[in-house]
Structure 1
């Protein structure tokens, strides 16, 4: 499924659930039936590498089938074995630079961890495919963090590398992110708090963005 290319799109943060790989993959696949998502970021959440690989191998094909990119957090071995589309790097600039050098253009390599403009520019010098503002588990309030919104607005106005801003627990926090000019809004608990409603939430947020998100200029 292809998504709107002239407005902010959604990125999903896969939830921290104890389910077995097949059931976990079903939860993700069901959510993606709700509508457009550009990518799904898959954190390891304390799993050992063997269990994380089993989870990734179950999830990645369903994500790709839905037309989204599957991005594995920090574990290049699991990303390779699961045939994921990319890596989400949470480490410092030297770790990011090494990953960019080693894996692009074969894999998408994204960056996160910048706490201010200086750190963001430092990470940007490594040439990642995107910059992520916020923590993957930073959705602890209904709204997106004001600092991340400000960084997203500054970055998207100044830098060509696309950015993703972490949203809050309220699905409508995606609209505030879209209004900064950021290319992507990340939602985690907002979508997966009740996995049975995940598809409906995704559909609702896409409808909201279709109606109210600013359009990018060609």
Structure 2
């Protein structure tokens, strides 16, 4: 096993769904494929009660696999589900409030950084990470060029780690790694065919082991 800490690592975004058993099986499969740093569990269209039920089951699965579970949506759900962190999908104000309220007890990060100015504003509230991209925004095979450009600029000058949304092609993870980003987030690339998820996770890890640049110690 290579030292995954010294290169870009994989973050998974679980796709939406009502069927908890199917989502759990899909996620469990993916986590068996290899190194995953964290899993973002968005609320999507679930009401708070359903989301609570899903979050509790899924957070436990993620943690059992040794990854960090980040709940996106209701912060109370994150607390009750004993998640490791909160992924803030709202704007700067919501992120600032979450950082103030929950760090260092929980990992707190978020995005909506559509340009350099917004990214720097987000950096000022000192989240644990910044997210370039938008959940559900992986509609093309490759990562969005704007997010890659932002990540490259950010990684070269700011200490706060960044997670960059890849595309629907698992190979897009390498372009993200080449920006110097610490994490690449994949959704459809891994989960489009749930049966393939473990193989995709294994393949992405192999690709990053072989070709991703290493961080300086």
When normalised by structure 1's length, the TM-score is 0.97
Which segments of 5 or more consecutive residues in structure 1 lack a partner in the other structure?
A: none
Q: Does the residue aligned with 2:11 lie in a helix, a strand or coil?
A: strand
Tell me the distance in 2 between the aligned counterparts of 1:168 and 1:3.
Answer: 25
Query: What is the match of residue 203 of structure 1?
Result: 202
Question: What's the offset of the Cα at 1:93?
Answer: 1.4
Is 1:170 matched with 2:178?
Answer: no
Structure 2 equivalent of residue 156 of structure 1: 155
Q: What's the offset of the Cα at 1:161? A: 0.1
Q: How does 1:38-117 map to 2 (within 5 A)?
A: 38-117=37-116
Kept in 2, the 8 Å contact 1:3–1:9? The answer is no
SS in 2 for 1:118: helix
Equivalent residue, structure 1, for 2:13? 13
**What per-residue deviation string (whole Å, max 9, x for no partner) do you get for residues 76-103 of structure 1?**
1110111000000121211111100100
Give the unaligned 5+ runs of structure 2: none
Q: What displacement does 1:205 show? A: 0.5
Q: Is the 8 A contact 2:163 2:181 kept in 1?
A: yes
Structure 1 residue ranges (4+ consecutive) displaced by more than 4 angstroms after TM superposition = none
| Counterpart Cα distance in 2 of 1:208 and 1:79 | 32
Measured in 1, the distance between the counterparts of 2:18 and 2:204 equals: 26
Conservation of the 8 A alpha-carbon contact between 1:22 and 1:58: no
Deviation at 1:3, TM superposition (A): 6.5
- In structure 2, what is the Cα distance between the partners aligned to 1:144 and 1:3? 25
Could you give the per-residue CA deviations for residues 85-127 of structure 1, whole angstroms, max 9, x where no partner exists? Answer: 0000121211111100100001000021011000011111111
Give the TM-score normalised by structure 2: 0.97
Partner of 1:133: 132
**How far apart are residue 17 of structure 1 and its match?**
2.5
